Amino acid sequence: GASSGIGLATAKKFHQENYFVFLLARSKEKLEKIHKQLPNSEVIVCDLNDLQQVDQAVNQITNSNKNIEVLINNAGIYQRKSFEDHTIKDWNETLNINLLAPIYLTQKIIPYFKKQQKGSILMVSSTLGTKTAAQTSAYSASKAALNSVTQCLALELGKFNIRCNAIAPGIVETPIHGFDKMNQQKKDETIEFYNKLQPL
């Protein structure tokens, strides 16, 4: 999820802190533009729906001469629809990207972290994973499940000096919410809707 939004901001921050960053996303064009801004990085085009591509990406990373310290599972999709309008196809897509892809990617990297007896796994969840809202059933369910997986992993992997945490951002102005395609009125309405869900 390094090509936009929170993933891009995170990649830039790690790069700023002198980390080497592996940039994973589907769009080669976007990643190559980012790579020009972040020279201490490597582009890996990977569609998380394709497990073979995920395997190849993990092999490329773990066979590099880099010391892998952190895995950030950030890619996600979001749809606001009523429960009745959420098709099974919508559910499958949401669960595949938001839940099953992070699970698979994490499973592939755990043996590497165990071998070096350290590592950090970060899941980018959402406040909707703990307090849902109308018209977010698939997304909220995927993030609630991701939170549970994270807690289980923290308990299982702590003895190997591997940390597993989730962060739960509220509304962030990123393409996942379609802000880049909204006029100002629609943007204001969307922000107001989500702000009502947050204490601050």
Active-site positions?
A: 139
Nearest to 56 by CA among 67, 71, 44, 42: 44
CA 71 to chain centre: 10
Residue 71, SS3 per DSSP: strand
Can you give the length of the chain in residues? 200
C-alpha 87/C-alpha 90 separation (Å) is: 5
> What are 95's two structure tokens?
């669960």
Residue 75 CB neighbours (<10 A): 24
> What are 85's two structure tokens?
């309008």
